[in-house]
A and B are shown apart, each in its own frame.
Chain A
Amino acid sequence: AQSVTQLGSHVSVSEGALVLLRCNYSSSVPPYLFWYVQYPNQGLQLLLKYTSAATLVKGINGFEAEFKKSETSFHLTKPSAHMSDAAEYFCAGGFKTIFGAGTRLFVKA
């Protein structure tokens, strides 16, 4: 079965620290991969998507993700966390977009 797995339902970092949100997908998931972000009381917004043009994908707000086929991973990173990054992040992939369970990011001052 196709699945997208996010490791860690909650991640807490200090402001200015590296953000790393992990995502693995099952090998049966076609390599159409996305990261979405959901701020409180708002709809999901696309952060970035893998288009096969490059394995390192840059998105909005300084986020980027690296597609690693050998590891079936698509981890999301940001070099320096900002308070405004606090939100829930969803990794997604495949046709009709299969979503992971989400990772809530907390940013401490």
Chain B
Amino acid sequence: DTGVSQDPRHKITKRGQNVTFRCDPISEHNRLYWYRQTLGQGPEFLTYFQNEAQLEKSRLLSDRFSAERPKGSFSTLEIQRTEQGDSAMYLCASSTGDREGPREKLFFGSGTQLSVL
């Protein structure tokens, strides 16, 4: 178990630029989640995948955000035309999914800190 890894750890970009983050889940985990966390708040759900299928997207996920998990393994989260309000920590988590049902344990990566100038 090498854990969930996210890349990069930090990203500084100018407003209007596109950014892409990568998440590598624990290898046998079929469910993958993206969360966003701002200072003083808990993580907010953005979207999740069951294998390669994106099953749900939060209303927080505007059209500028897109997530993919093409082969059911790693996932990418892209933000187009970044805005200052996108500055946050983006967290990825994975789980065994249906095996535990709603009480599934999430394994989190250390996150990607995005700063939009």
Q: Is the interface of A mostly helix, strand, loop or mixed?
A: loop
Known contacts being A49-B105, A96-B33, A96-B56, is A43 close to B4, with CB within 8 Å? yes
- Residues of chain B lying within 8 A (CB to CB) of residue A49: 103, 105
Instruction: Report, as a range, how many residues of chain A touch the other chain.
Output: 20 to 34
Bound together, the chains give a CA A30 to CA B48 distance in angstroms of: 19
- Residues of chain B lying within 8 A (CB to CB) of residue A97: 33, 43, 45, 106
- Residues of chain B lying within 8 A (CB to CB) of residue A50: 103
Give residues of chain B (74-117) contacting chain A, Cβ–Cβ below 8 Å. Answer: 91, 93, 102-103, 105-111
Contact of A43 among B40, B103, B110 (CB under 8 A): B110
- Residues of chain B lying within 8 A (CB to CB) of residue A9: 40
Cβ contact within 8 Å between A41 and B103: no
Give residues of chain B (4-62) contacting chain A, Cβ–Cβ below 8 Å. Answer: 4, 33, 35, 40-45, 48, 56
Bound together, the chains give a CA A99 to CA B4 distance in angstroms of: 19
Q: How far is the CB of A10 from chain B (nearest CB, A)?
A: 11
Cβ contact within 8 Å between A30 and B108: no
Cβ contact within 8 Å between A96 and B48: yes
Cβ contact within 8 Å between A98 and B45: yes
Chain B residue nearest in CB terms to A97: B106
Return the CB mask of A72-109 against B: 1 if under 8 Å, else 0: 00000000000000000010101111111110000000
Instruction: Answer whether residue A44 sits at the interface, using C-beta atoms and an 8 A cutoff.
Output: yes
Residues of A participating in the B interface, judged by any CB pair closer than 8 Å: 4, 9, 30, 32, 34, 36, 41-46, 49-51, 90, 92, 94-102
Q: Which 10 A-B pairs have the closest CB atoms?
A: A99-B42, A43-B108, A44-B108, A32-B102, A43-B110, A99-B43, A96-B45, A46-B105, A32-B103, A90-B42
